[in-house]
Structure 1
């Protein structure tokens, strides 16, 4: 299990786009980008619902 790797908004967007292009290959994203499955799923879902702006960290706001 991977814990707490810091990512930028651009990385999260890239990861979500990669997952969608690979037909939701979450496990592949976990290995390729060194992230957790739950983060991969969450970022992809947010990206689908709100676009790129949904993946920008708002600092707890």
Structure 2
């Protein structure tokens, strides 16, 4: 557990976590753009919900 925290702190200091989160947000927005081309449906809404979950899950 201590090693995990040490690694996480190292990544945070180097900006790796912020970079990764920014990249994930960009990819989710790109995916939402692709979803916009699909007709409204429960499946499309489920994919939107999944995108929200990916960005908001516990880090």
Give the TM-score taking structure 1 as reference length.
Answer: 0.32
Larger Rg belongs to = 2
Give the TM-score taking structure 2 as reference length.
Answer: 0.33
Q: Which has the higher contact order (CA 8 A, sep 6+)?
A: 1
